[in-house]
Amino acid sequence: MADQRINTMNNSKFRKYAHELVDWMADYFEEVEEYPVKPDVQPGDILQQLPNSAPEQSESFDSIFEDFNDTIIPGMTHWESPNFMGYFPANKSYPSVLAEMLTATLGAQCMSWLTSPAATELEEQVMVWLRKLIGMPESFTGVIQGTASTSTLCALLMAREQITDFEVNETGFPSDEQFTVYCSAETHSSIEKDVKIAGFGRRHLRKIPVDKNFAMQPKKLEQAIRSDLEDGYSPTAVVATVGTTGSTAIDPLQAIGEICTKYDVFLHVDAAYAGTALILPENRWMNEGIEHADSFVFNPHKWMFTNFDCSAFYVQDEALLVRTFEIMPEYLKTPEDQRVKNYRDWGIPLGRRFRALKLWFVLRSFGVEGLQEKIRHHISLAQNLKDKIQQHNHFEMLAPVPLNTLCFRFHPNYIDDEEKLDELNEKLLNTIQKSGELFLTHTKLGGSYTIRMVLGNTNVTETHMKKAWKLITEKANQLL
Ligand SMILES: *Cc1c(COP(=O)(O)O)cnc(C)c1O
């Protein structure tokens, strides 16, 4: 009886709607540029269109999908659009989306080898492929985490357990010892969040000053470590950034690594965005000194065409990682435990999605050469635009451009007042956002309001770059 009343979807309907959705998806990829990149909505506009409670009776897929088109899509920011040049990209690609469909369909939990042997072994192998792809030393072993924030938290927890010989795991923080962590003033906000979560305390995070290129000054790092030692602190971990979020500055790993070795401090490298650039041999200088690092993270879910979430976390000491996280309740014991990798012990969550599949699809579908070609193209687009900006009388670059992130501002030569320039550039960014034709974001560098533009979307071309620059200069002229 109950079954007859409940009108949920059946397999033949699923088949029909799935085909329709695939058509919608292909249309979306084709037409995404026609949507405003940022929707014209006010806070609450979407919320007020949504009922207060879930429906009592089953609703038809047609009506759900109609609301998706009428209510949700008009309120979306289109990260897939090649006119999206803000933050860092969250790229996807056809093979990646196809793999996600399979992952959702299999719905496997990949917490132990037994819960999905192929998922575990594929993850192990694609992490080897990826390590080779970016030229990391063989001594690193990889695991997929959800985000760089989580990967860095894992690194800090490893550092914590290493310095206390696993005492914090057992009895909590000792009352007579205080641990310090170091990063640069340009480090991503997730480091501070992770330092709080890991129990070090935000006040024990030292933000080391940067040089004129916004990279960490190793001398200042060593001074900070020494002064903490003199004051009785225990320096525990350094987080170096390869490609800061503000301007993709590259912290000097070699010098930082030598300091970490000298003072026996754990070194974690955050290459969340720029790690993808290591696919190109000409960019490997960024990772010189990586052999000193204890761990390294980069996000294929940013620039490497693999949709969110997929963060590649590499460690030198697999045993330290596993011992930091290992748990063994009776209900999770399996006969193979001694012979296999159980990835639940390689990070924070127990349940894990089958994320290796999309990475495998992407790596095979693009091939190394295909990935290199795309990344090189993005970098050359940015270098081209950098030249145009430098040649323009009323614009100036505010940071070097090692990769494909441009930090610049509008600076008419008769305006000197820094406050006015900040206002002018904020206004310029707002008018650009409002146009719906281009999406950029901002940061502050050396105290100045800075417009940030990233040429890294999967399908961005020279035409998009030129159109964007034309729009920026036109909007800037209109402000005068
Ligand atoms: C984006 C970014 C992060 C955070 O990445 P999530 O995967 O969103 O946590 C951390 N560090 C740097 C340098 C980043 O650019």
Rounded to the nearest angstrom, the distance between the alpha carbon of 149 and the centre of ligand 1 is 6
Rounded to the nearest angstrom, the distance between the alpha carbon of 309 and the centre of ligand 1 is 12
Note whether 258 and 397 are same-domain residues. no
Residue 218 lies in a domain: yes
- Answer yes or no: pTM beyond 0.85: yes
CATH of the domain at 348: 3.40.640.10
What pLDDT score was predicted for residue 333?
A: 77
Q: Is 273 in the pocket of ligand 1 (CB under 6 A)?
A: yes
Tokens, residue 297: 């993270």
Furthest C-alpha separation in the chain: 80
Q: Closest by alpha carbon to 195, among 184, 210, 179, 209?
A: 179
CB 394 within 8 A of CB 475: no
Note whether 316 and 439 are same-domain residues. no
CA–CA dist 421, 239 (Å, integer): 33
Last residue of a domain, one of 76, 99, 129: 76
User: Does residue 330 carry a pLDDT above 80?
Assistant: no
Residue 103 lies in a domain: no
User: Does residue 2 carry a pLDDT above 50?
Assistant: no
Note whether 129 and 255 are same-domain residues. yes
pLDDT in tens, 353-373: 999 999 999 999 999 999 999
Note whether 149 and 118 are same-domain residues. yes
Atom 2 of ligand 1, nearest CA residue: 272
Note whether 396 and 322 are same-domain residues. no
Note whether 302 and 390 are same-domain residues. no
CA–CA dist 149, 72 (Å, integer): 28
Q: Is 241 in the pocket of ligand 1 (CB under 6 A)?
A: yes
Rounded to the nearest angstrom, the distance between the alpha carbon of 273 and the centre of ligand 1 is 7
Give me the half-sphere count of Cα atoms (radius 13 Å) on the Cβ side of residue 322: 14
What pLDDT score was predicted for residue 1?
A: 43
Note whether 348 and 417 are same-domain residues. no
- Taking residues 33-48, report their average pLDDT: 95
Q: Kindly report the CA angle at 165 between 160 and 171, in degrees rounded to 5? A: 80
Tokens, residue 106: 């299999």
Last residue of a domain, one of 330, 353, 376: 353
Rounded to the nearest angstrom, the distance between the alpha carbon of 235 and the centre of ligand 1 is 24
* Ligand 1 atom at shortest distance from the alpha carbon of 152: 10
Task: Indicate left, alpha or beta for 249 from its phi (over 0: left) and psi (-120 to 50: alpha).
Answer: beta
* Ligand 1 atom at shortest distance from the alpha carbon of 241: 13
User: Does residue 213 carry a pLDDT above 90?
Assistant: yes
What pLDDT score was predicted for residue 5?
A: 52
CATH of the domain at 412: 3.90.1150.170
Q: How many domains does the chain have?
A: 3
Residue 89 lies in a domain: no
Residue 381 lies in a domain: yes
Residue 96 lies in a domain: no
Rounded to the nearest angstrom, the distance between the alpha carbon of 144 and the centre of ligand 1 is 15
Q: Closest by alpha carbon to 325, among 461, 449, 145, 471?
A: 145
User: Does residue 348 carry a pLDDT above 80?
Assistant: yes
Note whether 377 and 341 are same-domain residues. no
Tokens, residue 435: 């146009």
Q: Is 308 in the pocket of ligand 1 (CB under 6 A)?
A: no
Last residue of a domain, one of 353, 386, 419: 353
Note whether 210 and 339 are same-domain residues. yes
What pLDDT score was predicted for residue 329?
A: 76
Q: Closest by alpha carbon to 29, among 458, 463, 467?
A: 458
Confidence band of 7 (pLDDT split at 50, 70, 90): low
pLDDT in tens, 85-133: 999 999 999 999 999 999 999 999 999 999 999 999 999 999 999 999 9
Note whether 304 and 257 are same-domain residues. yes
What's the first-to-final CA gap in the chain, in angstroms? 72
User: Does residue 25 carry a pLDDT above 90?
Assistant: yes
DSSP class per residue in 332-344: G--TTTTTS--GG
- Taking residues 256-263, report their average pLDDT: 98
User: Does residue 480 carry a pLDDT above 90?
Assistant: no
Give the residue numbers spanning the domain of 403: 363-479
Q: Closest by alpha carbon to 286, among 315, 254, 260?
A: 254
Atom 1 of ligand 1, nearest CA residue: 272
Note whether 181 and 299 are same-domain residues. yes
